[in-house]
Amino acid sequence: MQNIIFDKTDKGREEIISRKYHLASRLRTLLVMVDGKHSSDDLLAKVEPLGLTQASVEELEQQGYIQRQSPSVQVVTTLDDTQNSQINSIELFQVLYDFYTETIKHNLGLRGYNIQFIVERASTLQDFHDLRAPFLDAINKSQSEKKALELRDQLDELLNIVPIKST
């Protein structure tokens, strides 16, 4: 795999804001995470549990949602800071929603019904922060401790929580 940095195209930004092109939710999760700063390897490491691969990145590129970024080119956004922060919040909300939905589906199944119900009713980023503890508790009870710690680390990275190092 090549270590290429991608950024969203205008079409990709439009899809994030309006869902105009009806991109599949798994690919949309990857699209949301493309930021022009992280390499494709970094992004794929984060979305690997969702079953996304290098082929997913290539599909986004072929469909015109992302483009390779030249290392010497600075990306200039035409959005003002207010719009940019709003899009980042919307993108983060979608990434968290997708993360919870996929991990509940694959790790809890029907046992995760109540947590999935809370995810569906979430309307703010704070709702996802508040769901962290019950979600991790349910994962810990139904999966191995290793799996629970792995999912905790992924969730904390999305929530921007600094993990506490075990001694």
SS (H, E, C) 98-157: HHHHHHHHHHCHHHHHHHHHHHHHCCCHHHHHHHHHHHHHHHHHHCCHHHHHHHHHHHHH
Over the stretch 85-134, which tens digit does the pLDDT of each residue have?
444 677 788 888 888 988 888 888 888 889 998 898 888 888 888 998 89
- Alpha-carbon span 107 to 7, nearest angstrom: 31
Residue 12 inside a domain? The answer is yes
- Alpha-carbon span 36 to 90, nearest angstrom: 17
The pLDDT of residue 64 is above 90? yes
Residues 107 and 131 in one domain: yes
Smallest CA-to-CA distance from 8 within 59, 58, 60 is with 60
Q: Which CB contacts under 8 angstroms, 24+ apart, belong to 24-27?
A: 25/98, 26/50, 26/51, 26/52, 26/56, 26/98, 26/102, 27/52, 27/56, 27/59, 27/60, 27/65
Over the stretch 121-164, which tens digit does the pLDDT of each residue have?
888 888 888 998 899 888 888 888 888 888 888 888 887 754 44
Sole residue written with tokens 């809370």: 118
- Alpha-carbon span 50 to 91, nearest angstrom: 17
Residues 39 and 108 in one domain: no
Residue 125 inside a domain? The answer is yes
Residues 86 and 46 in one domain: no
Tell me how many domains the chain contains. Answer: 2
Residues 106 and 134 in one domain: yes
- The domain boundary, picked from 28, 47, 68, lies at 68
| Percent of the chain residues past pLDDT 70, beyond the cut | 83
Residue 73 inside a domain? The answer is no
pLDDT the model gives residue 80: 45
Q: Is the pTM of this model over 0.95?
A: no
Residues 26 and 96 in one domain: no
Residues 44 and 100 in one domain: no
Residues 101 and 47 in one domain: no
* Token pair recorded at residue 27: 């690919």
pLDDT the model gives residue 161: 58
Question: Domain containing 39: what range?
Answer: 6-68
